[in-house]
Amino acid sequence: MISVAIDGPAGAGKSSIAKAVAKELNYIYIDTGALYRAIGLYAVEQAVTTTNREAVAALLSEIDVTLQHIGGHQHVFLNGRDVSERIRKPVVTVAASHVSAHPEVRTFLLSLQRKLAEENNVIMDGRDIGTVILPNADVKIYLTASAKERARRRYKELFDRGEDVHFDTVLKEIEERDYNDSHREIAPLKQADDAVLVDTTEDDLETAIQKVKAVILSKIG
């Protein structure tokens, strides 16, 4: 089986690009961030402070998270509920960043992620795929873009959904998440030593897709 690890900061386009490349290569796309978002959502729903490690850890025994591919799209199920749309809310984005820093949460999801990679040709994206989850991945890519460009993309996405958002707020959230993800004690966001850097600041989506696809094909021959 071929495994492709795509890491990078929030808003770099990892999900959109990985999903498109996986479709072109007939691989399974796995959005690991969605798993953390599901746990963040559950914590929010239970009114638990997401920065409280012990409180979040205590919830894990109540949580069942699964990924299903329906009609060519990944759906996220939390305790049997399809929460694919709900986990994209801004409040859940912040919660996901918090819970992902807790080692109990990362351990909880580790075996699920590795099992998926062992059984399928996969493109998996996240923050620590190439460094922690799949350290022996066949291809490792670090996908990034400037903070302002990532905020612009995120703002447009939320605005198009009808969300009441302001660009400055989105940019601040992006910068805060960059800091939190790169400074957390467990599995901080960083480029793996053997990862190929792909910067998409100046690229439209299709150009970025083809860049990433070209890197993968060059590595797997």
Domain spans, the chain:
3-220
pLDDT band of residue 68 (cuts 50, 70, 90) is confident
Average pLDDT of the residues in 125-130 = 90
Residue 53: per-residue pLDDT: 96
Q: d(Cα 212, Cα 3) in Å, to the nearest integer?
A: 14
pLDDT band of residue 116 (cuts 50, 70, 90) is confident
Q: d(Cα 108, Cα 29) in Å, to the nearest integer?
A: 20
174-204 pLDDT, tens per residue? Answer: 999 899 889 888 788 999 999 999 999 999 9
Residue type at 111?
A: S
How much of the chain, in percent, has pLDDT values that exceed 90?
71
150-161 pLDDT, tens per residue? Answer: 999 999 988 998
User: Class for domain 3-220, per CATH?
Assistant: alpha beta
Q: What are the φ and ψ backbone dihedral angles of 135, each rounded to 5 degrees? A: -65, -20
25-49 pLDDT, tens per residue? Answer: 989 888 888 999 999 999 999 999 9
Average pLDDT of the residues in 121-127 = 91
Residue 35: per-residue pLDDT: 92
Is the pLDDT score of 11 beyond 90? no
Kindly report the average pLDDT of the chain as a whole number. 92
